[in-house]
Amino acid sequence: MDEILEKKILLDKKKQKDVTYYMPKNEVLENLANFFSIFSDATRIKILSALSVSEMCVNDISTILELNQTTVSHQLKSLKGVGAVKCRRDGKTIFYSIANNQINNCLLSGVEYLYE
């Protein structure tokens, strides 16, 4: 801690206050890290991309994307856990869809960033 106090900060006082003021609270930072973790796996991104076109059941997702059904179920559980996808039951079949259009916007922003 003393080492931090001994360091000279080059940033002027107003900018230091601005940085401190605009820094999200730790809880928000943790939630953001949790949210962005959904984009850290290519399989999850593939599933989200498919669900951005249409709601689907696990079997359809696994067949269309050529993924193991267990893998799809596991990833959907993770995505549902962070609120990225929602589901509805129709008889014995569960259909999954994107929970919020902001998920699509994040995907599109990522693609735009990569290919600007």
Is a pLDDT exceeding 70 seen at residue 103?
yes
Residue that has been written with the tokens 């008889």 in this structure: 91
Domain range 11-114, CATH class: mainly alpha
Using CB atoms within 10 Å of the CB of residue 54, give its burial: 0 to 12 exposed, 13 to 18 middle, 19+ buried. exposed
How large is the average pLDDT for residues 9-31? Answer: 91
Q: How high is the pLDDT of residue 4?
A: 59
Q: Which residue has the higher pLDDT, 83 or 4?
A: 83
Question: Per the structure block, which two tokens stand in for 72?
Answer: 């799809």
| Euclidean distance between CA atoms 99 and 35, whole angstroms | 13
Average pLDDT, the chain: 92
